[in-house]
Amino acid sequence: MKVQYSFLKDYLSTDLSQVKLTDVFTKVGFECESDGLIIDFDITPNRGDVLSLRGLQREFQAQQSKVFKDKLQYKKLTFHKDKTIINKIDKSGCGNYQLMLVRGLHSVKALDKKKRNFLTAAGVPLIHPFVDLGNYVMLEMGTPMHVFDFDHLELPLNILFPVSKKTSFQAIGGDTKIVESSSLTIQDQKGIQAIAGIIGGHETSVSKSTKSIAVEAAFFHPNKIANQARKYGLATDASHRFERGVDPELQQRALARFLFLLKEIAQYDSIGCYEGSSAKLKPRAISLSVERFNNFSGLLLSPKKIKLFLETLGFTSMPTRTAHLKFQVPSHRFDMELEEDLYEEILRCYGYDNIPINPPKSGPVAKVIDHSVSAKLKGGLVFGGFQELMHMPFVSTETFHELNSNKWIPAELSNPINENEPLMRGSLFGSLFSAINLNVKKGHSAIKFFEHGNVFHKVKNDFAQESHISGLIYFHESQKTWSDKSFQYDLYSLKAEVLKLLETLRVKSIQLVPNASATIFTANAMDILIGKNKIGMLGEINLTSTQKLIKNPAFGFEIYPEKISTKSSDVKLKPVSKFPSSSRDLNILISQSHSYAEIETVLLNSKIKFLHSLALANTFEGKGIPEGSISMTLRFIFQSPSKSLQEFEINESMDHAFSLLNKALKAKIRS
């Protein structure tokens, strides 16, 4: 709510500077910002009662420990019940309904400059003197008013929910709205003339030729107005106030005020004031235990002090037979239900900053929740030279499907912020590819990125969320040093990087199993398995799924940290041999149809005596090697835990190793 400082200062009869005045309101919960000489109050949704000068005045006076006194001038009006004017009222939606008929209006002029400036500063457009006056009284008192052209109304009015479902209605401004059955309406004998508390009708709106008006002031229940305006694509000053709650005891006074000010801008022949029959809201009362309040706040306030604070805010202290205090809630406070609501009011008056501060408390010893897998992986990546990135998770339909190795059903937003990106990501790679393009354009030629975040997909009528850590390595130019050393990054460099990362987690039995079918990668890709559990993938990136700037092979991996258990990662020590190890090489010729993994499986799954470890020392194809074969030099390390090995023992093991390879894979000795 925007108010001119000069206007507010006069209204509150204060000499405080603009800065000091905004400070007073901010400290009691109404944050303000100054835009030049206009103060913009940020009124929270629970405090509709402060959306008026009257509401601001009440808070200001309470802050000065003064009980609120209404300063607005008007002459009390008498209201009559007349079924020919107001006939039926749906009491579930309308708490009270008043209509003031003013006939024979003439000599109409605009509001005075001060009032017009006040309205303009508040962001309320000037429309017609009678409408402007209604808006002015709304800003003064907080209750919205609607002005009908009386000559276009066919009385009596009914305040009812529409019976037929698709009634159309032409709103002020000319737009046609299909009225929802949940919207309370003001109907005359011709049909709907306004959507209650939201907007009036075009046909009955005032114009230059208006001679008589019917001014409406009513209380509509907040829960019947809430969210209604949005259904029509509207947000009006009236709906904003009604859905937050308008004081139900103000309406007749507001009409009296309207009439009082009307005399400043027009002359009229006669008036009539009417009220529909309605049920008054029951006054609400809340009990308060002083002891409980003091425990809650850490203060030691007396009952007298508590009463004083609440009474300045309009609460009435009620007699009780118990030790508790009891307060009647003023009619304008829709946010008061519980004892704790009163606590807030007392503390606002006391000042939050005056509440004593206690030293921080700690909780009981926390149950250990292992977040260490992600943290360790991220730490390892940072140490390995990867820069962490973070991205929005919204992707286009094309991107989702290009990277959809798992054939997931996408999680789709019904109201995306960008209609080209309606899906939640199913992979982190899309954004990483874009990031490579962006940085290559900026001249970065060697890139190592990773991202840690969730990916999403739909599972039947529910959604799944999985945590991924994905990384990319890309060299746009080959990396050469001043000394002409060059760095070749290839699939095996990536394998080393990923294995190093996982082994620092003490994850045992990691297997890399070829998987040529993932859309993100080329055929040179692998699943990362722990036992049968897939914990990630790595491989050469399929460039068709990236964007055009990437011209060289890129390598990537994704790891699913939630699928890695570190439970079995405790260190189990084995005795270390004190005896020397011996190394032997074996040159074999083997068909290229066999993979190195097969050789490893044959050798490591058979119990070769004293074999400590196995490595591939060299491979060779070409001259002297038969077509379709490859030469491999296997390096065996032998060691015994209990003795120095003799030559013959090592030779026996080597013979055993070769016979296994020969039998299983038809390997031959390369001479």
Window 379 to 438, contacts with another protein (CB under 8 A): 381-394, 411-417, 424, 431, 434-435, 438
Nearer to another protein, 170 or 387 (CB): 387
- CA–CA distance from 386 to each of 381, 447, 549 (Å)? 5, 8, 20
Closest approach of Cβ 493 to another protein, in Å?
12
Question: Scanning residues 206 to 225, which ones bind another protein (CB under 8 A)?
Answer: 223
Residue 485 CB, nearest approach to another protein (Å):
7
Pick out residues in 238-267 that bind another protein (CB under 8 A): 243-244
Q: Which is nearer to another protein, 359 or 624 (CB)?
A: 359
Q: Which two tokens stand for residue 547?
A: 């964007």
Nearer to another protein, 13 or 92 (CB): 92
Which one of residues 465, 552, 619, 644 is an interface residue with another protein (CB under 8 A)?
465
Taking CA 230 as the corner, what is the angle to CA 225 and CA 236, rounded to the nearest 5 degrees? 70
Q: Of 188 and 243, which CB lies nearer to another protein in the complex structure? A: 243
Separation in Å, CA 313 to CA 31, 130, 306, 307, 316: 18, 33, 11, 10, 9
DSSP code string of 109-126: -PPPHHHHHHHHHTTPPP
128: number of Cβ within 10 Å:
18
Q: Least distance to another protein from the beta carbon of 305, Å?
A: 16
Shortest distance in whole angstroms from residue 54 CB to another protein: 20
Query: What's the rounded Cα separation, in Å, for the pair 20 and 59?
Result: 15
C-alpha–C-alpha distance, residues 216 and 285, integer Å: 30
**Smallest gap from residue 95 Cβ to another protein (A):** 18
Q: What's the chain's Rg over C-alpha atoms? A: 40
DSSP 8-state symbol, 432: H
> Which residues, at least 6 apart from 75, have a Cβ–Cβ distance to it below 8 Å?
256, 259, 260
Nearer to another protein, 111 or 428 (CB): 428
Return the number of the residue (174 or 364) whose C-beta is nearest another protein.
364
573 part of the interface to another protein, by CB under 8 A:
no
Q: Between 339 and 652, name the residue whose CB sits nearer to another protein.
A: 339
Taking the complex as a whole, how short is the minimal distance between the CB of residue 444 and another protein, in angstroms?
5
Name residues contacting another protein, limited to 71-110 (CB under 8 A).
none
Give the tokens for residue 75.
């002459």
Scanning the structure block, which residue is given the tokens 């050789």?
599
What is the distance between the terminal CA atoms of the chain, rounded to a whole angstrom? 93
Closer residue to another protein, CB minimum distance, 186 or 225: 225
Q: Which of residues 308-367 bind another protein (CB under 8 A)?
A: 338, 340-341, 343-344, 347-348, 352-353, 355-367
Q: How far is the CB of 433 from another protein (least distance, A)?
A: 11
Piece of the chain touching another protein by CB under 8 A; list 148-156, 478-486, 511-519, 638-646: 478-486
Residue 311 CB, nearest approach to another protein (Å): 19
Cβ contacts of 622 within 8 Å, gap of 6 or more: none
30 in Cβ contact with 43 (< 8 Å): yes
Tally of CB atoms within 10 A around 69: 8
Nearest CB to another protein, comparing residues 264 and 370? 370
Convert residues 20-49 into a mask of x (bound to another protein by CB under 8 A) and - (unbound).
------xxxx-x------------xxxx--
CB contact at 8 A, 633 and 618: yes
Count residues near another protein (CB under 8 A).
Answer: 91
Q: Does 277 bind another protein (CB under 8 A)?
A: no
State how far Cα 367 lies from the chain centre: 29
State both tokens at 393: 């998770």
Residue reference for tokens 């004593």: 356
Of 13, 123, 406, 487, which one interacts with another protein (CB under 8 A)? 487
- Smaller CB separation from another protein, 356 or 575: 356
State which residue, 102 or 538, has the beta carbon closest to another protein: 538
Cα–Cα distance measured from residue 41 to residue 63, given in angstroms and rounded to the nearest whole number: 16
Pick the piece of the chain touching another protein (CB under 8 A) from 203-211, 253-261, 270-278, 442-450: 442-450
Paired strand residues for 464: 457
Find the binding residues for another protein in span 154-193 (CB under 8 A): none
Q: Which residues contact 549 (CB under 8 A, 6 or more apart)?
A: 436, 437, 440, 441
Nearest to 294 by CA among 335, 350, 337: 350
